[in-house]
Structure 1
Amino acid sequence: MIKRLILIVALLCSAFPAFAVNPDEMLADPALEARAREISTHLRCLVCQNQSIDDSNAELAKDLRVLVRDRIEKGETNEQVIDYIVSRYGEFVLLKPRFEMQTLLLWGMPAFLALVGLVGIVVFSIKRRKSPSGKPLSEAEKAALEQILKN
């Protein structure tokens, strides 16, 4: 009984991504539809922001999917379709931004932060190895310490 329930839930969950693209949006030519799907997986839904337009049920995502298919039917290449959509909606529409001068900070920041963290760890470990004051105890401090330890 439990195994059947788990199997049913697993089958239902595996079908969720297929709900986004409606049959009326699909192209008759399977090769063109495959190209449209490939392009759609790289474009961000501007409403959901964390999903591709291929996975989103938002109206704007549907409009973008239709736009992609229209441009493909007109004979444009994948790059031309993506360039057209980027020209209308900006670089933000790409799930993986292009490596350009405008996105250099975006691409370089993780490496920069990792380097800053590594330098911070090295500096912290060097400081930790040294004694807190950097000089030995005076005779009066040693006597006071001995007195505290005896009590």
Structure 2
Amino acid sequence: MRKFVLALALIAAPVMAQRPPAALAYTQLPDPAQEAEARALMATLRCLVCQGQSIADSDADMAGDMRALVRQRIAGGERPDEVRQWLIARYGDYVTFDPPVGGTTWPLWVAPIVLLGLGMLVARASFRRR
């Protein structure tokens, strides 16, 4: 009997672990202006699970929770910048697709410029030889 109960618990565990999505994860706000603000903000926020998708495009549960959170806060009267700053404070700069220039992110901003400059120098030297 104990083995039967244990087997039943193991089979039922994945079903019980699933939870319904957050209330506003897939539901639009009634006010079209607020929904437009929420969607614009969601397009700039990175899904922490998928990492390459915005929370607007991701189907991950975490992205759904973040969409619901954004909609709840905007419906509550917060501006998108305030919501964005709150999410950055909670999850770090990685949550945004355009991290601010700082001590840890300056290589992300400077490296493309340096590489472009080096490429131009190599191209110039190559053309001079010919």
TM-score (norm 1): 0.62
Give the aligned CA root-mean-square deviation in angstroms: 1.9
Which residue in the other structure is 2:75 paired with? 73
Which residue in the other structure is 1:136 paired with? none
Q: 1:47 deviation in Å?
A: 1.4
Which residue in the other structure is 2:57 paired with? 55
Between the two proteins, what is the percent identity of the paired residues?
42
Task: Give structure 2 stretches of 5+ with no counterpart.
Answer: 1-24
Q: Give the distance between the partners of 2:79 and 2:103, measured in 1 at CA.
A: 24
Q: 1:22 deviation in Å?
A: 1.6
Pairing partner for 2:105 from 87, 93, 103: 103
Q: 1:112 deviation in Å?
A: 0.8
Q: Secondary structure of 1:106's partner?
A: helix
Larger Rg: 1
Task: Give structure 1 stretches of 5+ with no counterpart.
Answer: 1-20, 130-151
TM-score (norm 2): 0.71
The size of the alignment, in residue pairs, is 106
Q: Give the distance between the partners of 2:109 and 2:57, measured in 1 at CA.
A: 25
> Runs of at least 4 residues of structure 1 off by over 4 A?
99-102
Letter in 1 for 2:100: R
Letter in 1 for 2:121: V
Q: Which has the higher contact order (CA 8 A, sep 6+)?
A: 2
Which residue in the other structure is 1:41 paired with? 43
User: What pairs with 1:85-104 in structure 2 (closer than 5 Å)?
Assistant: 85-100=87-102, 102-104=104-106
Letter in 1 for 2:88: V
Q: Secondary structure of 1:55's partner?
A: coil
Q: Give the distance between the partners of 1:109 and 1:122, measured in 2 at CA.
A: 20
Which residue in the other structure is 2:3 paired with? none
Q: Give the distance between the partners of 2:126 and 2:38, measured in 1 at CA.
A: 52
Q: Give the distance between the partners of 2:102 and 2:76, measured in 1 at CA.
A: 28
